[in-house]
Homo-oligomer: A and B are copies of this chain.
Amino acid sequence: MTTPKYFSSIARFYRERKRLPSYREMLKLTGFRSTNAVYRLVERFRQADLLTKDAAGKLIPGKRFRELRILGTVEAGWPSPAEEELIDTIGLEDWLIHNREATYMLKVSGDSMIDAGIRPGDMLLVERGRTPKEGDVVIAEVDQQWTLKYFQKRGRQTILVAANKKYSPIIPQDELNIAAVVTAVIRKYHT
């Protein structure tokens, strides 16, 4: 068993209610009848880094709570936990989203970036109000339409390039409106 007994029910509680149960609530989760029993249970979870206490002494999820085990690379063989601690501790959400207020999600519909591995149906995390760097994938306004393109510079001119030979580069004549910079691509397989 990878996680200690009784812990999964506490983790489920947190996942459903977005808060940790109190010690009396853990009584019902574990079946114990004394708060002292769950108190010492929690002590063990704290030593296993499944739970911790914050600065105020309140119980919060620990390092190993939101465990998302990272393994090595695909070709390299299965379990080589090199950079294991990387996402393990921060969790998917914090890893992908830095500025939540400015981050939006949208779905790709065209094939203009298919050679960059961005395919129709993929979801994009984009950040508004950020200044794009050379080579960034951006969402730009062209002829009152929004398109997905590479942001590139030719000399001191800014051009928009598709990752698909079918489309030719766009050289904006008047002003260029960058709506957002793509920060991540997420493809979910509906299996």
Stretch at the interface among A36-44, A101-109, A154-162, A166-174: A101-109
Residue in A11, A78, A101, A191 with the greatest tally of chain B CB atoms within 10 Å: A191
Copies of this chain in the oligomer: 2
19 contacts between A and B (CB under 8 A): A8-B101, A19-B54, A67-B100, A68-B105, A69-B105, A70-B106, A73-B107, A74-B110, A75-B147, A76-B146, A78-B146, A92-B92, A93-B93, A96-B186, A96-B188, A114-B117, A117-B118, A183-B188, A184-B186
By a beta-carbon cutoff of 8 Å, the part of chain A in contact with chain B is 2-3, 8, 11, 15, 17-20, 25, 54, 56, 58, 60-61, 66-78, 87, 91-97, 100-101, 103-110, 114, 117-119, 122, 124, 130, 133, 136-137, 139, 145-148, 179, 181-189, 191
